[in-house]
Every structure is written in structure tokens, then in C-alpha cells.
């Protein structure tokens, strides 16, 4: 029903809203892309899902205490919430969220340390102490949605991201963690690929465990290249990320 509203009606569909708001994923998409405003009737559902709570806060609400308990359960989303949503919030808001999320963030390597520093308003650690990306897990093969040409692996998606980002300075678009200063050329490329792979793998598992609702590339894009609140996207290029990754993935 969400897709019918988005692709056929191209606007709100009040008669379908009681059904759409039963599902947190589609309720969030409907609020963000169709209503383009908060949807109070759906928030009690959206608030239960970490990713949807984060996307709802990022695109519509800003600081959202009601959604923080769910967001705090996921280390990566907690980091992104601090970085993109709480960046301009009062110190007490960042400290409040850190108290909720610290258990997950403290196991999240250097991103967890960066999150703590942002919450405590401390300067970031020097690049020399940044960790190497974690060991790349084996790539699972999964069946792609029907509009894709073939089944894809995590490696296929990482390759597509690398082509879509097309950056020598930030291979694979990896900006939120910094490599050791001595890495250049192929070494920097390999390090960034591992970091990208880990992010894609983690989010694929999260998407699958959540019932594999919706399109995975859209799901991934909301985290990898958010279209709202991204301070490192002054030219608003993130809006093209999903389409570009799909295009390279289908080649």
C-alpha cells in the first residue's frame, strides 16, 4: 500500500493509512516520503524499530527521546544518531543518550570512542590511534529482489558502492572513521573496502533479522548516505546514492 501511494497516487492515501501504520518500515517511509511530516498515529509502531526510529528522527523530528531506547540497542545507529541528529543538541541531551547507548557503543571500537567523545564534547582522538577495520566475514549469497538482474553477494554490493562513490580521497565513501595516517594508495583502498564490507554485512544481517522488509539498497542507503542531516554532503549528492548503487549492481 505504501508503494501504491508513492508510485501511483503520488501522495497521501488516507483510506490506507490504518493499514500502513501497522508496519514500522512502511509507516516510516510513508511519513518521510509522502506526508513529509510527523505522523503521531504511527509513532507508537515506529518507535519500536531501531532503524525506523533513527530514520524518523533524522528526517522529521530531530532529537527524539521517545525513540532513543530503540535506537540505543544498535551500536551503529546510535553512532549515527549522535553524529547526525544530536550534533546540535544540548550537552544534556547527548549525555542522556550516551547513558542509554553506552553498553552497545563501548563494544563498537573506535566509532564507540568517537561517540563518547562527541557526547562528552571532547576533541576526537588523533588519527594514529584509529583501529584497522575488523576482519571481513565470509560473504553470504542472497537472492536479490525481482527487479535485480541476478542474485548478489555482499562483495557485489561493496563493488557497486566503490564505483558509485568514485573517490580517491574517500574510497567506498568511508568518512565516518579515519584510517591510520600512513595509509595511501592501495593500502587505503583495501582498508576502506574492509570498512565498507563490514557496514554492508552488518546492515544486511540487521535487515534480514528484521524480516527483510522493503528493498535492501534503500535500507542501506538510509544509513550509508542519509539524505537529511548529513553535514558532509553540502551538494546534496546523497539523494543519488541508491540509484547509482543499483545501476552499478545491475551491470
Q: For the chain, what are the domain ranges?
A: 127-251
d(CA 143, CA 204): 12
Within 10 A of 242 (CB to CB), how many other CB atoms are there?
20
**Is the C-alpha dihedral spanning 36, 118, 232, 198 positive or negative?**
negative
Each residue's pLDDT, cut to its tens digit, for the chain (251 residues) gives 888 888 888 899 999 999 999 999 899 989 988 888 899 999 999 999 998 998 898 888 888 999 999 999 988 888 888 877 887 677 788 889 999 998 888 877 767 777 787 777 543 333 333 333 334 444 444 444 445 555 567 778 888 998 988 888 888 888 766 666 677 788 888 888 888 887 888 788 788 777 777 788 888 888 888 876 666 666 777 788 888 888 888 77
Report the 3 state secondary structure along the chain.
Answer: CHHHHHHHHCCCCHHHHHHHCCCHHHHHHHHHHHHCCCCHHHHHHHCCCHHHHHHHHHHHHCCCHHHHHHHCCCHHHHHHHHHHHCCCCCHHHHHHHHHHHHHHHCCCHHHHHHHHHHHCCCCCCCHHHCCCCCCCCCCCEECCCCCCCCCEEHHHHHHHHHHHHCCCCCHHHCCCCCCCCCCCHHHHHHHHHHHHHHHHHHHHHHHHHCCCCCCHHHHHHHHHCCCCCCCCCCCCHHHHHHHHHHHHHCC
pLDDT at 181: 63
- For 92, the grid coordinates are 544534556
**pTM of this prediction exceeds 0.85:** no
pLDDT at 46: 95
d(CA 35, CA 26): 12
Decide if 189 contacts 171 (C-beta within 8 A): yes
- For 138, the grid coordinates are 565470509
- For 224, the grid coordinates are 550509508
pLDDT at 66: 95
User: ∠ at Cα 203 (230, 100), nearest 5°?
Assistant: 70
d(CA 249, CA 99): 40
d(CA 226, CA 57): 12
Amino acid at each position: 500500500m505504501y508503494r501504491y501511494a508513492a508510485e501511483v497516487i503520488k501522495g497521501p492515501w488516507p483510506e490506507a493509512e490504518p493499514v500502513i501504520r501497522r508496519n514500522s518500515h512502511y509507516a516510516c517511509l510513508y511519513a518521510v516520503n509522502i506526508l513529509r511530516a510527523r505522523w503521531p498515529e504511527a509513532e507508537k509502531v515506529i518507535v519500536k524499530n531501531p532503524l525506523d526510529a533513527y530514520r524518523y528522527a533524522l528526517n522529521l523530528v530531530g532529537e527524539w527521546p521517545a525513540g532513543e531506547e530503540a535506537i540505543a540497542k544498535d551500536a551503529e545507529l546510535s553512532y549515527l544518531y549522535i553524529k547526525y541528529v544530536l550534533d546540535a543538541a544540548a550537552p544534556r541531551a547527548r549525555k542522556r543518550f550516551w547513558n542509554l547507548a553506552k553498553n552497545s557503543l563501548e563494544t563498537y571500537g573506535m566509532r564507540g570512542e568517537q561517540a563518547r567523545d562527541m557526547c562528552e564534547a571532547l576533541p576526537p582522538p588523533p588519527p594514529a590511534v584509529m583501529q584497522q577495520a575488523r576482519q571481513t566475514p565470509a560473504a553470504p549469497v542472497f537472492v536479490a529482489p525481482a527487479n535485480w538482474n541476478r542474485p548478489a553477494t555482499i562483495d557485489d554490493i561493496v563493488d557497486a558502492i566503490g564505483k558509485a562513490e568514485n573517490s580517491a580521497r574517500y574510497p567506498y565513501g568511508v568518512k565516518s572513521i579515519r584510517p591510520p595516517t600512513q595509509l595511501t594508495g592501495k593500502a587505503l583502498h583495501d582498508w576502506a573496502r574492509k570498512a565498507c564490507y563490514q557496514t554492508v554485512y552488518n546492515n544486511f544481517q540487521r535487515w534480514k533479522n528484521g524480516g527483510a522488509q522493503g528493498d535492501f539498497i534503500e535500507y542501506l542507503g538510509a544509513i550509508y548516505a542519509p539524505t537529511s542531516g548529513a553535514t558532509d554532503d553540502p551538494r546534496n549528492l546523497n539523494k543519488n546514492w541508491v540509484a547509482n548503487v543499483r545501476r552499478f549492481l545491475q551491470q
